[in-house]
A = this chain, B = another copy of it.
């Protein structure tokens, strides 16, 4: 297609990065790496076929730069680190137009600063995991979603899709409010077109995107475009706990939060003894901490085998007493039974369900692990004048209503961004699709 893609310049890599696209990996091993821990894969054969030819499949994941990215972003990014290690050419769509439409009070200029902030952060996260981001491409929606070709395709799609199918496709992602907006019906189609215009072989998202994904599989071929594969992550409840504190803006952990704030927020997180269903703290261990700990272990093993130093390598989330098979440890005083070691998430879940693992002990371990994850990101932020400047522009301090009114009589773009629904959004960690009219917390 004739769309013009504006790639934003990659960040300077300040951390030492080892290339992890291991050329020794077989096609089967790559496919296993790409699809592990996913809840569902549609048209996986398409990816297998590309791998069998020794080529790099192209993937795409979209995120709308609305509020401030929080710790939930580790969930898709941990999976994306698998993709990158398996040699996927990955595109991150920063859906600036969707973000703008989601809350038109924030002007496009502010959204463009946030778009840059998102890229800084996403690269910093992946680099902190030791994942090279040279096969990661950032594309802003506005670089092609306003083009002539894209819009004609959008019109063509709208002249093929029934209202009913569009509504059904967005049912999980677009909040069903009393008076739904027309844009909610457009989003599924636009997301389908993005697959074509970003030239991907698969789209990745949370399982809440399933209907949007099957919609794309049905309708893209009707426009003469290829059907893509779809890879879906499990939904992970927010760290703050699904139902309890979505309306409490203090409960979300910002990726730049200092250790004491992280500790405080996790301490107040919902993590009920024996409850493994609605437990964001526990889920975060399975979706993020254990995979990252495994990755760290593998690196140390590789270095040890090669006889090189392991001093600079990040440590797995295990204690010194852990057996070699363990990937996650909970430190406990001897009087409470001593350390607990786990090699699979199922073991942790079982212990928690049977109340052998106490929420207080889990929270301490998770706090330490998260702080070890955030430390290099904070460091990178502190060292980058450019990033710090962008942060100020992207999230300016709220101006009080009185102050504002004194200065100007007519203000069409109220400045305090990140307030209201955007602040409350993102309680679940797979919230890539644009939402509209998000009501408080009723999911």
Contacts and interface: CB of A to CB of B under 8 A. Distances in A.
Interface of A: 97, 101-102, 104, 146-148, 151-152, 155-164, 166, 179-186, 189, 224, 412, 436
A163 B180 contact: yes
Contacts of A164: 179
A183 B159 contact: yes
Given A104-B160, A163-B182, 11 more contacts: A101-B156, A104-B156, A104-B159, A146-B151, A158-B182, A158-B186, A163-B179, A163-B181, A164-B179, A182-B185, A182-B186
Nearest to A155: B101
A101 B159 contact: yes
B146 A166 contact: no
The 8 A-B residue pairs with the shortest CB-CB distance in the complex, in nearest-first order: A101-B159, A159-B183, A146-B148, A158-B183, A158-B182, A162-B179, A151-B151, A161-B182
B146 A162 contact: no
A116 to B, nearest CB: 20
Given A158-B181, A164-B179, A181-B159, A97 B146 contact: no
Contacts of A163: 163, 179-182, 184-185
B185 A162 contact: no
Nearest to A97: B155
Contacts of A185: 163, 182, 185
30 contacts: A97-B152, A97-B155, A101-B155, A101-B156, A101-B158, A101-B159, A102-B159, A104-B160, A146-B151, A146-B152, A151-B151, A155-B183, A158-B181, A158-B183, A158-B186, A159-B181, A159-B182, A159-B183, A159-B436, A160-B181, A162-B179, A162-B181, A163-B179, A163-B181, A163-B182, A163-B184, A163-B185, A182-B186, A185-B185, A224-B412
A97 B436 CA distance: 29
A145 to B, nearest CB: 8
Copies in the complex: 2
Interface of A is mostly: helix
A65 to B, nearest CB: 16
A102 B156 CA distance: 10
Contacts of A156: 101, 104
A183 to B, nearest CB: 4
Contacts of A161: 181-182
A151 B147 CA distance: 9
A189 B189 CA distance: 18
A100 to B, nearest CB: 8
A242 to B, nearest CB: 27
Of listed A101, A160, A163, residue having the most chain B CB within 10 A: A163
A410 to B, nearest CB: 11
Nearest to A161: B182
A155 B224 CA distance: 24
B180 A162 contact: yes
A140 to B, nearest CB: 14
A186 B158 CA distance: 8
B152 A166 contact: no
Contacts of A148: 146-147
A373 B146 CA distance: 45
Contacts of A152: 97, 146
A159 to B, nearest CB: 4
A183 B182 CA distance: 11
Contacts of A157: 182
Contacts of A159: 101-102, 104, 181-183, 436
Nearest to A179: B162
Nearest to A186: B158
A211 to B, nearest CB: 15
A148 B147 CA distance: 6
A148 B186 CA distance: 17
Of listed A151, A155, A164, residue having the most chain B CB within 10 A: A155
A164 B104 CA distance: 20
